[in-house]
């Protein structure tokens, strides 16, 4: 009976772990892409990093893949997504934000002014 129960837990925990991954990964991708597509200011970088870190913590928590009931499927899920795992989410979704080029507010203002000047020149 115990073997049957363990088999059921193993079979049912894989889809749960997959569901957690399928929920959190698109959020992480969208967060990274939104940051990279916009101005790389310190405020936006901090917000994007905080968003990733919150999702990463939730992913590993007892309500995510760290849930005891997920057993080896949950542990494998976390290991696969860790920095040294098969699909290292930190490298995919955090590092590009962390290593992104930061533009100062002054630079953004100067760039906007130059773009407006060029646009006005082309219109004339």
CA-based angle 48:52:58, to the nearest 5? 145
- Binned at pLDDT 50, 70 and 90, residue 88 comes out as very high
Task: Give the 3-state secondary structure of residue 38.
Answer: coil
pLDDT at position 6 over 90 = no
The pLDDT value recorded for residue 41 is 93
pLDDT at position 103 over 90 = no
The pLDDT value recorded for residue 14 is 86
Tell me the pLDDT tens digit for each residue of 49-69: 999 999 999 999 999 999 999
Tell me the pLDDT tens digit for each residue of 13-37: 788 899 999 999 999 999 999 999 9
- Mean pLDDT of the 89-109 span: 75
Classify each residue of 87-110 as buried b or exposed e, where b means 16 or more C-beta atoms within 10 Å of its C-beta: eebbeebbeebeeeeebeeeeeee
On whether the pTM is more than 0.85, the answer is no
CA–CA separation, 64 and 89 (whole Å): 15
């Amino acid at each position: 009976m115990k073997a049957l129960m363990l088999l059921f837990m193993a079979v049912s925990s894989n889809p749960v772990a997959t569901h957690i991954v399928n929920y959190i990964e698109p959020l992480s991708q969208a967060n990274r892409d939104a940051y990279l597509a916009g101005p790389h200011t310190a405020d936006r970088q901090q917000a994007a990093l905080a968003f990733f870190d919150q999702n990463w913590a939730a992913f590993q928590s007892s309500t995510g893949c760290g849930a005891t009931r997920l057993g080896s499927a949950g542990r494998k899920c976390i290991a696969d997504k860790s920095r040294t795992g098969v699909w290292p989410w930190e490298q995919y979704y955090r590092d590009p934000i962390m290593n992104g080029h930061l533009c100062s507010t002054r630079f953004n203002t100067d760039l906007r002014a130059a773009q407006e000047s060029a646009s006005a020149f082309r219109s004339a």
